[in-house]
Amino acid sequence: MLNLKAEDYGFEPNVTGFEEAVNLAYLDGKREGKLEAKRKAKRKAKREAKRESIKNIAKNLIELGFEDEIISKATKLDLKTIQKLRKN
């Protein structure tokens, strides 16, 4: 747990040590939960961007006339996804 003071969270400094510890632990946990949610959202957005980039590469290979099997090997996309991209 971080070394924080009650004043950092707007608590009265004369709160008993136990109450202060409980309140600070709760707020630290709440803050950590929010930070973890933000980190997960960033990771998810990064994965989605990468997947879209790979799909764009596959579309370019389709336009250049490459076969589905070669596109699949180059992009690691399954044949079903490549066939969907080819239809669009």
pLDDT beyond 90 at 88: no
pLDDT in tens, 16-66: 666 777 777 888 888 899 999 999 999 999 999 999 999 999 999 999 999
Give domain limits for the chain.
Answer: 6-87
Question: For residues 82, 40, 49 and 58, what is the CA-based torsion angle, rounded to 10 degrees?
Answer: -20
CA–CA distance, 73 with 70 (Å, rounded to integer)? 5
CA–CA distance, 22 with 31 (Å, rounded to integer)? 14
